[in-house]
């Protein structure tokens, strides 16, 4: 059963899917970490692949930029393709002084300036969070790898270029980093009764000067990719 955004048929996609924003990063993961790889989607250039990692079937697919884009792709994976677990592997801008470029962040929860949650008709403000079981496994793997990591809340913003930048306000409230997708992923997972985790590599810092190039973002996030894959095969 294909959709307007995904040409896969049922059975083409594994129960656990890694999702980077950039489809070329999905291609990089498939080519460098998976075996027996098959491409299941090329619609709109949003590449998707299924293969095996250490003998277990895993899929990887791009989700594009922004909350609306990841909202579409993750909704379809959860509700049309019987996917149980989605692990976003993305980049983020650091906010806290103890967060450095190339550090890994596990997003425990997601603040947002988006109205994405309005569609659910909930009174008050819904607090979307990661699935603890997946978070716990991923953190344990990061400890084993001895890589610098942080666990906490992130800000998922609707806008990259902002006229009124609230980053310092969220920094003062403890947000570790800012990115653009996690809130939709976590809300879609909650509504579908499925599982989700966002793992981020800090690619730049809003209060420091260091940053990674576009090419470095695509290919140098190997610690994050390996943590996500080793977590995936435990699910």
Of 82, 87, 76, 89, residue with least CA distance to 7: 76
The pLDDT, as a whole number, for residue 90 is 96
Give per-residue pLDDT as tens, 67-95: 999 999 999 999 999 999 999 999 999 99
| CATH of the domain spanning 16-232 | 3.40.50.1580
Separation between Cα atoms, residue 128 and residue 125, nearest integer Å: 10
Separation between Cα atoms, residue 58 and residue 89, nearest integer Å: 14
The pLDDT, as a whole number, for residue 213 is 77
Q: Which of 97, 158, 204, 223 is catalytic?
A: 204
Give per-residue pLDDT as tens, 25-52: 999 999 999 999 999 999 999 999 999 9
Judge contact between 167 and 206, C-beta under 8 A: yes
Give me the residues of the chain with pLDDT under 50, please.
none
The pLDDT, as a whole number, for residue 2 is 86
Residue 84 known to be catalytic: no
The pLDDT, as a whole number, for residue 97 is 96
Hey, where are the domains in the chain?
Answer: 16-232
The pLDDT, as a whole number, for residue 214 is 72
């Amino acid at each position: 059963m294909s959709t307007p955004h995904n040409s896969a048929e049922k059975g083409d996609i594994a129960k656990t899917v890694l999702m980077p924003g950039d489809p070329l990063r999905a291609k990089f993961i498939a080519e460098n970490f998976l075996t027996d790889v098959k491409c299941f989607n090329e619609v709109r250039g949003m590449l998707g692949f299924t293969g095996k990692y250490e003998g277990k079937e895993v899929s990887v697919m791009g989700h594009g930029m922004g909350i609306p884009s990841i909202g579409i792709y993750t909704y379809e994976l959860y509700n049309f393709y019987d996917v149980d677990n989605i692990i976003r592997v993305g980049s983020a801008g650091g906010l806290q002084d103890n967060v450095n470029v190339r550090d890994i962040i596990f997003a425990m929860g997601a603040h947002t300036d988006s109205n994405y949650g309005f569609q659910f008709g909930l009174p008050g403000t819904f607090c979307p969070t990661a699935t603890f079981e997946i978070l716990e496994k991923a953190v344990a793997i990061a400890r084993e790898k001895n890589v610098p990591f942080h666990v906490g809340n992130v800000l998922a913003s609707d806008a990259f270029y902002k006229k009124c930048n609230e980053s310092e306000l969220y920094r003062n409230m403890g947000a570790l980093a800012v990115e653009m997708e996690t809130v939709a992923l976590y809300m879609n997972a909650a509504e579908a009764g499925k599982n989700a985790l966002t793992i981020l590599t800090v690619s730049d810092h809003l209060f420091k000067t260091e940053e990674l190039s576009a090419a470095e973002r695509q290919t140098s996030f190997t610690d994050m990719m390996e943590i996500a894959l080793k977590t995936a095969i435990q699910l």
